[in-house]
Amino acid sequence: MEQQKLPNVTIALVLGILSFLCCVCSSGIGGVIMGAIALYLTTKDEKAYRVSPENYSNYSQLKTAKIVAIIGLVLGVLTLLYTIYVIQQMGGIDGYMEKVQEMMEQYGLEE
């Protein structure tokens, strides 16, 4: 029987890598979402592999995708927690919105 590739490995790896980028570019929520989806996909493929390991050829890529997903998820959670901490230090959401309004006025971006 010809071996096939696990179906979700590539997309899980891409989502894991994107979760890194979302941690850097956003408040962390994108990294958490993408990392969680990637982890779900790798877990799903891992179950399929355990049922019939002789049918699949890319299990090492699955392990790599799972590690990348876990790291992206952890970094996303840490970034999200830090963002929440910073907003709380500014005086909550009201203080944050005041700072945003001040910056918009300073740079002439007010509506």
Percentage of residues in the chain having pLDDT higher than 70? 97
Residue 109, pLDDT > 80, answer no
Residue appearing with tokens 């990392």: 35
Dump pLDDT digits (tens) for 40-59: 999 999 999 999 999 999 99
DSSP result, 14-65: HHHHHHHHHHHHSSSHHHHHHHHHHHHHHHHHHHHHHH-GGGBS-HHHHHHH
Task: Output the pTM of the full model.
Answer: 0.83
Mean per-residue pLDDT for 67-96? 91
- How does residue 25 score in pLDDT terms, banded at 50, 70 and 90? confident
15 within 8 A of 41, measured Cβ to Cβ: yes
Residue 110, pLDDT > 80, answer no
